[in-house]
Amino acid sequence: MATLVIRKSLIPASINAIVAPFLLLVALIILLSFGLKIGLTRLSSQLDQLSEANKDENALRTKEGLLREVGTSVLSQADLTSGAVPPKNPVLTVVSQLKNLSLSGGITLSNLKAGSSSKGEGGLGMVEISFDAEGPFPAVLDFIRAISSFSPITTVEKVSLNQTAGAARATISLRSFWAPFPVKIPSVTEPIAGLTDEEKKTLSKIQTLTPPPYTQVAPSGPLQRADPFSF
Amino acid sequence: MATINLLPTDFAPTGRVVQFANLLRSAIIVGFVFFAMLVLTLIGIFVFNSISLQNAISRQNQLKDSIKAQEATEQKLVLVKDRLGRAKEILGQENTSDQAQKLEQLLAGLADVSLTQSEIVAGKSELNFLATTPSGLTNLLARLKTSGLFEKITLSSFNFNPTTGYQVNITATKK
């Protein structure tokens, strides 16, 4: 005959009934908290990356648009500004400009001297040029005034003027400047700005300067001789 | 047929406990469903963002290529900006050239007056005028006073010579 043995558990039946659901609930809470933490951290980091990528893209788009926009005008501006502040000592160009100016104004130049060049802060080089200018008084004044109107940018440091019987003699000291070209361009991702209002103002001042009259010598290559034996 | 429970009553959980256990089970099921939906949503957002990121990187690379193709323009722009900065620095320096223009303006139309000697340096001008007639002298002084060309004018010396005229030496400061 079969015997039914019922043993009473040490854990009360009421507690036994909620242990399993309770453990599952704890597991769910742990899963939710860890899952949420990991998921949200990853998502946040991905959103940061996306935001950074969008920012970089906008910066690149702006840069690309700017380069496309200035592409046509920047070439002439580069020539103009490089003439105004050349990369090397511009003493010969300045002397040439002075000679041209004196010829057009009926002024005689003498005692032309160029001092030793010096470099200031930020690599800005400077050379001092002194000379005597003789001519009719108004023409000499015009000449002094016109010195600041040619390229490379030249400033008048000192003027001593003597006038006798309508003729004037001025001893003039000038300063002309140069600076080496930049050797580094910003990286592709680095943003670049267009010309500011201040820079446009300076550019418009430079545009009024008279550039040096460079002449281009045509190459005198070997001429073609039809018959090499005929001299 | 009536249900007969032969087990002792303390062997089975009480009704309230059973109810609570059922509630817990329901909450767990809802929680798991919520968790599964959350995971799916997160995966969806993650995939969507990954695609967006890939597209952004691809567009960036296209833009970088385009910028590289315009490197010469960028070089010129950098050069222009550098030269303009230098030019501004130079143009901000003292230049006595404009003093010549002021002298032209001062002497324009003045009869019987000439500038015999002048020394212009760093915005300060020492000017020696010769007025051959009293009216010339009057006109010169009036012009100096009203022209507004200089900030400050100091009369350094004033001489009269019967043969040459009136010699007026002034020190004028640039405006």
From A55's Cα to the closest Cα of chain B, the distance in A is 10
Average pLDDT over residues A126-137: 94
- Partner residues linked to A168 by β-bridges: A135, A163
* Residue in chain A nearest B74 by alpha carbon: A67
How would residue A165 be classed by pLDDT, with cut points 50, 70 and 90? Answer: confident
From B28's Cα to the closest Cα of chain A, the distance in A is 6
- Cα-flanking dihedrals φ and ψ of residue B99, to 5°? -65, -30
How would residue A3 be classed by pLDDT, with cut points 50, 70 and 90? Answer: low
- All residue ranges of chain B with pLDDT < 70 are 1-2, 5-12
Under an 8 A CB cutoff, do A28 and B20 touch? no
Which residues of chain B lie closer than 8 angstroms to A58, CB-CB?
A: none
Average pLDDT over residues A8-32: 80
What is the percentage of chain A residues whose pLDDT exceeds 70? 90
Average pLDDT over residues A191-208: 91
Under an 8 A CB cutoff, do B86 and A124 touch? yes
Helix (H) or strand (E) holding B113: strand B113-121
Under an 8 A CB cutoff, do A46 and B96 touch? no
The answer to whether B17 faces chain A, any CB pair under 8 Å, is: yes
Q: Which two tokens stand for residue A75?
A: 């070439």
Under an 8 A CB cutoff, do A160 and B118 touch? yes
Which residues of chain A lie closer than 8 angstroms to B7, CB-CB?
A: 6
Neighbouring CB atoms inside 10 A of A216's CB total 5
- Partner residues linked to B154 by β-bridges: B171
Q: Which of A13, A144, A159 is opposite residue B11, by nearest beta carbon?
A: A13
- pLDDT value for A1: 54
Distance, CA of A47 to CA of A53 (rounded, Å): 10
How would residue A49 be classed by pLDDT, with cut points 50, 70 and 90? Answer: very high
- pLDDT value for A223: 66
- pLDDT value for B97: 83
Of A41, A39, A148, A168, the residue nearest A97 (C-alpha): A148
Per-residue pLDDT reduced to its tens digit, A90-103: 999 999 999 999 99
Q: Quote the mean pLDDT of chain A.
A: 86
Which residues of chain A lie closer than 8 angstroms to B122, CB-CB?
A: 157-158
Neighbouring CB atoms inside 10 A of A170's CB total 23
Q: Over 90: is that where the pLDDT of A225 sits?
A: no
Q: Which of B14, B70, B100 is opposite residue A144, by nearest beta carbon?
A: B100
Model pTM score = 0.75
CB B73 within 8 Å of CB A69: no
- pLDDT value for A222: 67
Distances (CA, A) of A227 to A63, A222, A231: 59, 14, 8
Q: Over 60: is that where the pLDDT of A86 sits?
A: yes
Lowest average pLDDT, out of A6-15, A152-161, B129-138, B147-156, goes to A6-15
The answer to whether A88 faces chain B, any CB pair under 8 Å, is: no
CB A144 within 8 Å of CB A52: no
Under an 8 A CB cutoff, do B52 and A13 touch? no
**For residue A213, cis peptide bond before it (omega within 30 degrees of 0):** no
Q: Over 70: is that where the pLDDT of A44 sits?
A: yes
Distances (CA, A) of B103 to A151, A171, B109, B142: 24, 16, 12, 15
- pLDDT value for A188: 82
How far out from the chain centre does Cα B44 lie?
44
Put simply, the chain B residues between 95 and 154 with a CB less than 8 A from any chain A CB are 95-101, 103-104, 114-122
How would residue A231 be classed by pLDDT, with cut points 50, 70 and 90? Answer: low
Cα of first residue to Cα of last residue in chain A, in angstroms, is 145
- Cα-flanking dihedrals φ and ψ of residue B139, to 5°? -65, -40
Average pLDDT over residues A191-196: 86
Cα of first residue to Cα of last residue in chain B, in angstroms, is 122
The answer to whether A121 faces chain B, any CB pair under 8 Å, is: no
How would residue A46 be classed by pLDDT, with cut points 50, 70 and 90? Answer: very high
- The Cβ-side half-sphere exposure at B35, using a 13 Å CA radius, reads 18
Q: Over 90: is that where the pLDDT of A174 sits?
A: yes
- pLDDT value for B103: 84
- pLDDT value for A6: 58
Distance, CA of B120 to CA of A11 (rounded, Å): 111
Handedness of CA B101, B106, B107, B108 (dihedral sign): positive
- pLDDT value for A5: 61
Distance, CA of B50 to CA of B54 (rounded, Å): 6
Q: Which two tokens stand for residue A133?
A: 């200018």
List all residues 6 or more positions away from B93 whose beta carbon is below 8 Å from its beta carbon. Answer: A155, A175
Under an 8 A CB cutoff, do B95 and A177 touch? no
Which one of A19, A40, A57, A107 makes the best mutation probe of the B interface by having the most chain B beta carbons within 10 Å?
A57
Q: Over 80: is that where the pLDDT of A19 sits?
A: yes
**Predicted ipTM?**
0.78
How far out from the chain centre does Cα A223 lie?
45
Q: Over 70: is that where the pLDDT of A10 sits?
A: no
Q: Which two tokens stand for residue B74?
A: 């960028």
Under an 8 A CB cutoff, do B121 and A144 touch? no
- pLDDT value for A213: 81
- pLDDT value for A128: 93
